[in-house]
Structure 1
């Protein structure tokens, strides 16, 4: 049995594999210290797999922003490489991976062997990330799930022009004060982010099939 642990910017994830099959996994909010996040995530995954301790694992790979702080990892691998290999493992026809994480977004191109051949990322600003959507949901006083569902009912998406998350939040508040419906603002937020992601995709070139990962992959209005 082997394990994997991903300490990202907002969540910690752990997975247990036995003969290539998932037997336990966990996703938790990040603690202040990456070490604590990793330990809690792995503990929950081990419990889900009905395993007593990490000593039951023959090898553990760490990835994510906090990978070098994972105390029990036998090897550290960049999240870009892991995204490529993971997408390829799930579907060997996939050639492009769009990852929208809490703190950055990436577009990754992989070859027929699952190896990364090119990538681009936006890690300089919160725009286009999970943090951006959280800020917009707070401004609208709705949940992330509501933002996703309500946007699907819009026939007239609002225009969100600000590239900065701080200015975009101010823009959203202005639209609310002008009486624009929340569903239209939600749709405008999703369209604005989709447009930014499209620019990144064009930068490295789209090749089908496409996989989308990260928490924002659950946003049906965005996808």
Structure 2
């Protein structure tokens, strides 16, 4: 999800797209960002992040996903202490230090359990659009024990429950319960502090957010305005730093100066 920043106060444009093709064939989605009048060479500084960050051909530098999520989350949620990021491929828990740095982190990238991909698989089996599974799960009258949190076996588990005549909302409640248990166990390893934020696509899933809140002792979860672009925003903020160092973007004038 690329972002364009002109100042640290405003996101000019953002876009989220699924990656298609091979690594290294990635393009900057300027038309989707409604800035197709710009060219790559017009960008003062471009920072790449994520799994393919090192092979983005037009990036001026790359920064780890953990660091970018930490930076982006603080822009959206000033004073955030703990970040839980659940993406399509992995789950990350990040504790923010007193100076805004990454104080500690833990990551599960070896298994798709508890990730957005796992939820997509079950949604496909139930023939329910992904944005609807969270609200539907809240209508459940019983939480079915989901036999697995493994994405490879999740499809079969959902099919079995459907064949047994279980309601879709109860299956989804069980799915959300299983995922919430897994991701909160992960983030507890870095410590859950007062200001707790969720980033990534699951931030839009009200059913899962509700389950996570229950499992962290009723602590209120803070959601960024745009949870899916937090990492990209962090990269854009680092790019803004780089542009300022190169002198291509002036520092904003202070009041009275």
TM range (shorter): 0.7 to 0.9
Specify the alignment match of 1:94 in structure 2. 80
After TM superposition, the structure 1 = structure 2 runs for residues 1-223 of structure 1, keeping only pairs within 5 Å, are 13-20=1-8, 21-37=10-26, 39-45=27-33, 48-49=34-35, 51-223=37-209
Separation in 2, partners of 1:63, 1:207: 26
Q: Distance in 1 between matches of 2:32 and 2:157?
A: 41
* SS of match in other structure, 1:137: helix
CA deviation vs aligned residue, 1:130-171 (integer Å, no higher than 9, x gap):
110111111212111221221011121111131322223222
Cα distance between partner residues in 2 of 1:158 and 1:131: 20
Q: Which runs of 5+ in 1 are unaligned?
A: 1-12
* RCO comparison, higher one (Cα < 8 Å, 6+): 2
Q: CA RMSD in A?
A: 1.5
Which consecutive unaligned segments of at least 5 residues does structure 2 have? 210-257
Q: TM-score, normalised by structure 1?
A: 0.88
Structure 2 length as normaliser, TM-score? 0.77
Q: Output one character per residue of 1:115-142: Cα deviation in whole Å (capped at 9) or x when no partner.
A: 1011111111111111101111112121
How many angstroms does 1:50 deviate by? Answer: 6.1
Count of matched residue pairs: 208
Residue pair 2:73, 2:83 contacting (<8 A) in 1 also: yes
Stretch of structure 1 that moved more, 163-172 or 15-24: 163-172
Greater strand proportion: 1
CA distance in 1, matches of 2:153, 2:130: 19
What's the counterpart of residue 249 of structure 2? none
